[in-house]
Amino acid sequence: MLNKKSIDDINVKGKRVLVRCDFNVPMMNGEITDVNRLVQALPTIKKLIADGGKVILCSHLGKPKGEPKPELSLAPVAVRLAELLAQPVVFASDDTVVGENAKAAVAAMKDGDVVLLQNTRYRVEETKNVEAFSKDLASLADIFVNDAFGTAHRAHCSNVGITNFVEDSVVGYLMQKEIDFLGNAVNNPVRPFVAILGGAKVSDKLAVIDNLLDKVDTLIIGGGMAYTFLKAQGYEIGLSLLDAEKMDYCLDMMKKAKEKGVSLLLPIDTVVAQEFKNDTPFKTVGLGEIEADWEGLDIGEKTREIFVNAVKDAKTVVWNGPMGVSEFDNFAKGTLAVAEALAKIEGTTIIGGGDSAAAVNKLGYGDKMTHISTGGGASLEFLEGKVLPGVAAANDK
* Residues in contact with ligand AMP by the rule CB under 6 A: 198-201, 204, 223-224, 241, 296-297, 321-322, 324-325, 327, 353, 355
CA–CA separation, 295 vs 306, rounded Å? 22
What's the min distance (Å) between Cβ of 26 and ligand AMP?
16
82 vs 200, beta carbon nearer ligand AMP: 200
Determine the distance from the C-alpha atom of residue 91 to the mean position of all C-alpha atoms in its chain, rounded to a whole number.
Answer: 27
Which of 52, 62, 112, 377 is flagged as catalytic?
Answer: 377
For 45, phi then psi, to 5°, come to -65, -45
Amino acid code (one letter) for 232? A
Active site residue 354: yes
The nearer residue to ligand AMP, 53 or 224, going by C-beta atoms, is 224
Start-end of H helices in the chain: 36-50, 75-85, 100-107, 131-138, 173-187, 206-213, 226-232, 247-260, 301-312, 333-344, 354-362, 376-383, 389-392
Closer CB to ligand AMP, 238 or 347, in the complex? 238
Min CB(335)–ligand AMP separation in Å: 8
Least distance from ligand AMP to the Cβ atom of residue 72, Å: 22
Quote the least distance from Cβ 265 to ligand AMP, whole Å: 16
Q: Identify the active-site residue in 5, 46, 103, 201.
A: 201
Shortest Å, Cβ 306 to ligand AMP = 17
By C-beta, is 126 or 355 nearer to ligand AMP? 355
CA–CA dist 378, 337 (Å, integer): 25
353 within 8 A of 321, measured Cβ to Cβ: yes
Clarify whether 201 is annotated catalytic: yes
Catalytic residue among 15, 16, 20, 37: 37
Beta partners for residue 168, in sequence order:
143
The residue from 198, 354, 376, 390 that is catalytic is: 354
Q: What secondary structure letter does DSSP report for 387?
A: P
Q: Which amino acid is at 332?
A: A
- Decide if 37 is catalytic: yes
Pair 239, 293: CB distance under 8 Å: yes
Of 376 and 389, nearer to ligand AMP (C-beta) is 376
**Which residue lies nearest ligand AMP, judged by its C-beta?**
199
Active site residues: 37, 201, 354, 377
